[in-house]
Amino acid sequence: MSQANLVAITRGPSPRMELGERTYTDEFPIDGTLAVKQHAQYQAALRSCGARVVSIPGCEELADCVFVEDTAIVVDEIAVMMSMGAASRRDEVPTIEKALREFRTIARVELPAKIDGGDVVRSGRDVFVGLSQRTNPAGVDALRTILGPFGYSVTAVPVLEVLHLKSACSALPDGSLLVNAELISTSPIQGRKLLPVPKTEPLAGDVLVIGERIIASDAFPETISLLEGCGWEVIPVSVSEFAKAEGGVTCMSLVFNAGLD
């Protein structure tokens, strides 16, 4: 991703975040004060990568609103608003759409198609979409219909015991994929070089790539060392409170180039 005119849309955590949707994690208490502090540090990491942070206030009624990535995907040509798999989260979409209208033409996936942005991994013109509890085949087909005219290929990837595809798969700067092959089916992505996460860090496949820099959770030191050994600069951040709500470093921002030549 070019760093020219880079924008990162974020949203503050809801004070009721611990009441949000949780599928694969236990309902550990979330420290709201610490979450606010970690979110501020996360935004600082985005700025250190050259992004202009557009911050939208959190909403008490929308427990999962901090996870803005699930509401949309943004490519160079268009922004696509998601039809989210969890009904409780669908009211998050309009506010993010309002923010994105400044930068992109808007398209929408509509029910009964369901899709979360956390299930979408893009590497160049290749778009991989997780078939998960939040994204159904109709959602994949709808995204293919929207993105196909712009030259993107859309490939479905079955997701196993994890919430989203990005929970176990991220595109790295060289086009390879950081993956946990025990949590997703790798058959549809075998054409790519796959970099396995350490077995001791099964959820470390979620990293945020901005140019040649990578933002990663500091809970995964072995993965950070692995990525640094490949020659990339890694910026560790603490996201423990968001991990309790099944979030990771990709979940809390929509990062894209605002102005394109």
How far apart are alpha carbons 48 and 32 in whole angstroms?
24
**Contact (CB, 8 A) for 89 and 64:** yes
How far apart are alpha carbons 229 and 245 in whole angstroms?
30
Tokens of 159: 């997701």
- Which residue's structure tokens are 């009441």? 19
Burial class (CB in 10 A: 0-12, 13-18, 19+), 36: middle
Give every CB contact of residue 147 below 8 A, 6+ residues apart in sequence. Answer: 75, 78, 80, 127, 154
Length of the chain counted residue by residue: 261
CB burial readout 124-143, b (16+ within 10 A) else e: eebbbbbbbbbbbebbbbbb
CB burial readout 174-205, b (16+ within 10 A) else e: eeebbbbeebbebeebeebeebbbeeebbbbb
- Residue 260, SS3 per DSSP: coil
Catalytically active residues, by annotation: 164, 251
Instruction: State whether the Cα torsion 43-46-50-55 is positive or negative.
Output: negative
